[in-house]
Amino acid sequence: MTDALLHVRGLTVGFPAAHGPNEVVKSLDFDLERGGALGIVGESGSGKSMTSLAIMGLLPKGAKRTGSVTFDGTELTALPERAMRSYRGDRIAMIFQDPLSSLNPYYTVGTQIMEAYRSHRTGVTRRQARNVAIAAMERVHISDAAKRVDHYPHQFSGGMRQRVMIAMTLSMEPELIIADEPTTALDVTVQAQILDLLAEIRADTGAGLILITHDLAVVSEVTDHIVVMRDGDLVEQGPAERIFTDPQEPYTRMLLDAVPRIDDEIGLLRTMHTEEGR
Amino acid sequence: MIRFVADRLLGMLVVLFLVCLFTFVIFFVLSPDPAVQICGKNCTPEAIDQIRANLGLDQPFWTQFGTFLTGLFAGRTYGTGPNAIDCAAPCLGYSFQSSQAVTDMIAQRLPVSATVAVGAAVLWLLAGVAGGLLSAVREGRFADRFIAGLTLTGMSIPNYVLALSLQFLLVVTLGWLPFPQAVAFTDDPVRWFQNFLMPWIVLAVGMAAVYTRLTRANVIETLQENYVRTARAKGLSPGLVWRRHALRPALTPIVTIFGMDFAGLLGGALITETVFGINGIGKMAADSITKNDQPVIMGVTLLAAFLVVVGNMVVDLLYTAIDPRVRVGSSA
């Protein structure tokens, strides 16, 4: 890949256990082009969230990361913590699953949007940062942003909170946005709005997007390349179109079958059956 | 906001009324006849009747209680005619022992107890929060375990054991502190400080242990919060993550506990004051209990209840300033 933004090779995440490390991500390879959108799909416990945290260098205590993560030509795994911090939030931003618990209840959303901006950009006045925060909130279609910037997270609805989270990442104009289950905690109608917003932002800013979800319907709308994971293994990857029309692996087919369709005959909801059972 | 305060005040009044009622029932109705006590050994039935009439003990319960409440808010008059005694509001009656007004006795001793409470509070808050933070930062390492051992010891030592050992060690054996002697702060500040140092330490040790554990647990729990992860993902420095995103949520619950503990201590530290011979509310309570001096016991009980209720309300009001989610009338 010539113009790759992110190269992941042999990425492995393990937790030390009595009988050797317990690997939750096993030797993962994938690439993301500049401005591309990648979906990482898998059921709970498949290691998809660990993959995103491994890229950010935010793995929980005790977790061990091996393999290579290259971002814009820089090997992230070799960076010291201080240097990695200058990437986090600034060039690689992350959106989390539960927007309520992911925002600090003690500070206004404006403060929380501003603090990343102020810590990455030197010589920024409070007023400038505030204007950036308001602009970011307007960009994610929060009406009355100049007033809402001084409100606290609990004064926003779930969908609006996730917009705030997105505004937080946007204020830094990152080259890569990692969204870990950004719509899982939201109503279906709100889910669609947030996905539209992510697609819109990608189109506007040219930022790359990694969308992590268990919901194939979600990735189908936004991404152009899909990685299917299971138990830390990469099952299959390819262009979104091909994964949906011509899945190669039985597991992918099962995932696809589990998505309820509006034109389904009325009957039992299909659930996943795996060879060894669960 | 005004509505919130009004609600709280109303609730406070209800609680205090109930406390009054219960203490009144316990101390005046269920206790042995105070008139006999006051009268002493050489007593005639007429004298007892006279005392009963003066104290209003011949009246039905609700009348007595009504007079007591009136006394609290508007003052009351004991007896009739030329021998009548006016007791100004807030009237808590007169000590059976010294015939002093209970209100005056409390007013004299409250500053002493407050001195004890404030000094101890400063010590335990500083030691507890600092110890808890250090413990949380060094979780699982030597410092954490060492502090855990200290807190366990601190919580296990009874107040009076610590008080007596300290006295023995610092005053008698080592002679580092002079023998306690009542002096005013203005006369001899050093001596004054030396007098209060031991009671402060004794009261602070157990509390500091509890606060250390609480702070440690809160900080460790807060560091697990999703918003701390968000702060890290924003690329904030660890110092900023700690100061801004971990400390404030972690220390907020400490405010609640501190308000209650401090208010409780203002109402007198019974054991510590008695052991060190400090003439505060606690010692007064201990003395009045041994002598069955009912008006004093009741006064002290009401004072303690009042302080706790007020402390609670202050904490509630503080919360509206500290925690935006509690801020009333600002929900969108």
The more confidently predicted of residues A128 and B48 is: A128
Task: Tell if the CB–CB gap between B227 and A105 is shorter than 8 Å.
Answer: yes
Find the mean pLDDT for residues B177-184: 75
Q: Nearest by CB to A101, from B226, B245, B331: name it.
A: B226
Rg (CA), chain B: 25
Nearest CA-CA partner of B171 in B134, B139, B199, B211: B199
User: How does DSSP assign B222-255, residue by residue?
Assistant: HHTSHHHHHHHHTT--HHHIIIIIIIHHHHHHHH
Q: Nearest by CB to B227, from A85, A101, A152: name it.
A: A101
**Confidence check: pLDDT of A261 > 70:** no
Find the mean pLDDT for residues B228-232: 92
Per CB distance under 8 Å, which residues of B are interface residues toward A? Answer: 225-227, 229-237, 240, 244-245, 248-249, 323-325, 330-332
Q: What is the pTM of this model?
A: 0.81
User: How does DSSP assign A93-104, residue by residue?
Assistant: EEE-S-TTTTS-
Q: According to the model, what pLDDT value does residue A222 have?
A: 83
Q: Nearest by CB to B332, from A93, A108, A155: name it.
A: A155
Report how far residue B12's alpha carbon sits from residue B23's, in angstroms, rounded to the nearest whole number.
Answer: 16
Confidence band of A6 (pLDDT split at 50, 70, 90): very high
Q: According to the model, what pLDDT value does residue A247 have?
A: 86
Q: Give the DSSP H or E segment for B11.
A: helix B2-24
Chain A residue numbers touching B244 (CB-CB < 8 A): 104, 107, 115
Q: According to the model, what pLDDT value does residue B29 have?
A: 67
Per CB distance under 8 Å, which residues of A are interface residues toward B? Answer: 56, 58, 85-90, 93-94, 96, 98, 101-108, 112, 115-116, 119-120, 151-152, 154-156, 165, 168
**Percentage with pLDDT > 70 across chain A:** 92
Q: Helical H runs in A149-271? A: 158-170, 188-205, 216-222, 240-245, 250-257
Chain B residue with minimum CA distance to A119: B236
Report how far residue B74's alpha carbon sits from residue B90's, in angstroms, rounded to the nearest whole number.
Answer: 7
Task: Tell if the CB–CB gap between B245 and A104 is shorter than 8 Å.
Answer: yes
Q: According to the model, what pLDDT value does residue B212 have?
A: 96
SS3 (DSSP) at B311? helix
Q: According to the model, what pLDDT value does residue B331 have?
A: 42
**Confidence check: pLDDT of B117 > 90:** yes
Q: Choosing among A49, A102, A165, which should be mutated to test the B contact, i.e. which has the most B CBs within 10 A?
A: A102
User: How does DSSP assign B165-191, residue by residue?
Assistant: HHIIIIIIIS--SPPP----TTT-HHH
SS3 letters for A23-66?
EEEEEEEEEEECCCEEEEECCCCCCHHHHHHHHHCCCCCCCEEE
Confidence band of B51 (pLDDT split at 50, 70, 90): confident
Chain A residue numbers touching B240 (CB-CB < 8 A): 115, 119
**Confidence check: pLDDT of B26 > 50:** yes
Find the mean pLDDT for residues A227-241: 89
Task: Tell if the CB–CB gap between A96 and B229 is shorter than 8 Å.
Answer: yes
Chain A residue with minimum CA distance to B225: A101
* Dihedral Cα B98, B101, B104, B109, nearest 10 deg: 40
Confidence band of B28 (pLDDT split at 50, 70, 90): low
Chain A residue with minimum CA distance to B229: A102
Q: According to the model, what pLDDT value does residue B48 have?
A: 83
Chain A residue numbers touching B331 (CB-CB < 8 A): 154-155
Chain A residue with minimum CA distance to B247: A106
Chain A residue with minimum CA distance to B239: A119
Most confident of A168-182, A203-217, B117-131, B155-169: B117-131
Find the mean pLDDT for residues A2-24: 85
* Dihedral Cα B256, B259, B264, B267, nearest 10 deg: -160
Task: Tell if the CB–CB gap between B234 and A119 is shorter than 8 Å.
Answer: yes
Chain A residue numbers touching B325 (CB-CB < 8 A): 105, 152, 154
Q: Nearest by CB to A90, from B235, B324, B325: name it.
A: B235
β-bridge pairing A233-239 and A208-213:
unpaired
Chain A residue numbers touching B330 (CB-CB < 8 A): 155
Q: According to the model, what pLDDT value does residue A277 have?
A: 43
Owner of token pair 């290691």: A47
Most confident of A17-21, B122-126, B262-266: B122-126
Confidence band of B56 (pLDDT split at 50, 70, 90): confident
Q: What is the ipTM of this complex?
A: 0.86
| The two three-digit tokens of residue A88, written as one number | 């986090």
Which amino acid appears at position B214 of this protein?
Answer: L
Q: Choosing among B227, B232, B248, which should be mutated to test the A contact, i.e. which has the most A CBs within 10 A?
A: B227
Chain B residue numbers touching A94 (CB-CB < 8 A): 230, 233
**Confidence check: pLDDT of A67 > 80:** yes
pLDDT tens column, A81-127: 899 999 998 999 999 988 889 999 999 999 999 988 888 888 888 89
Min distance A172 CA to chain B CA atoms (Å): 9
Q: According to the model, what pLDDT value does residue B294 have?
A: 82
Chain B residue numbers touching A88 (CB-CB < 8 A): 232-235
Task: Tell if the CB–CB gap between A106 and B225 is shorter than 8 Å.
Answer: no
Nearest CA-CA partner of A232 in A35, A66, A7, A32: A66
